[in-house]
Structure 1
Amino acid sequence: MTDPEYLDRAEAALAAIESSCDRINDTTDADIDNQRVGGMVTITFRNGSQLIVNLQKPLHEIWLAARSGGYHYRHDGQAWVDTKSGEELFGQLSREASAQSGLPLRFTSS
């Protein structure tokens, strides 16, 4: 993947995360806050816990930091997939957000 292809796909993923946060706030009582600074989105939950999603441009990866640990995702041509487990980014993000918020939350790529 070229640098421009990576940036297009990675920026689309961050935009989808932001859109998911807006949808979650409109349709649930989760009251999550998301803040984007450059290539990083910080999601803060009512209980003060956070998820941090950031771009790792030199590696062409997206990283997720959660209470359960850190995850590294590369685009496989179809989706952002964890380099160790093969887990898809938005599925993992949904599980981590649900665990940290105590509510069933769903993040989607579109």
Structure 2
Amino acid sequence: MTDPEFMDRAEILLKAVEANCDRINDSTDADIDNQRTGGMVTLTFPNRSQIIINLQKPLQEIWMAAKSGGYHYKFNSDQWMDTKGQGEFFASLTRDASAQAGEPLTFTA
């Protein structure tokens, strides 16, 4: 994948995360504060825990840090997959955000 292709795909992911937060805030009591600075999105939950998603351009990866740990994702033909076999990005974000919010949430691509 070229660097411009990576940036295009990564931008789609970051915008999807932001749109999911807006949808969740409109339809639940989760109250996720999402702030974007360049290639990084920080999700802050009412209990002050955070999930941080950021781009690692030189590696063409997206990294996610949550209470459960740190994860690295590479684009694999049609989705972002964990480099250590821990699953797809949005499934992992759903799991971790639900745990940190204390209620079931759903993030989709």
- Once the two structures are superposed, residues 39-85 of structure 1 have per-residue CA deviations (whole angstroms, 9 ceiling, x without a partner) of 00000000000000000000000000001100000000110000002
Secondary structure of the structure 2 residue equivalent to 1:9: helix
Q: Which runs of 4+ in 1 moved over 6 A?
A: none
**2:63 aligned residue:** 63
Q: Residue 17 of structure 1: CA displacement? A: 0.2
Consecutive unaligned residues in structure 1, runs of 5 or more: none
**1:12 aligned residue:** 12
**1:36 aligned residue:** 36
**1:92 aligned residue:** 92
Consecutive unaligned residues in structure 2, runs of 5 or more: none
Q: Residue 108 of structure 1: CA displacement? A: 0.8
Secondary structure of the structure 1 residue equivalent to 2:42: strand
* Higher mean C-alpha deviation, range 81-90 or range 20-29: 81-90
Q: Residue 6 of structure 1: CA displacement? A: 0.2
Q: TM-score, normalised by structure 1?
A: 0.98
Secondary structure of the structure 1 residue equivalent to 2:36: strand
Q: Which amino acid aligns with 1:52?
A: I
Cα-Cα RMSD: 0.6
**1:24 aligned residue:** 24
Secondary structure of the structure 1 residue equivalent to 2:87: coil
Q: Residue 86 of structure 1: CA displacement? A: 4.5
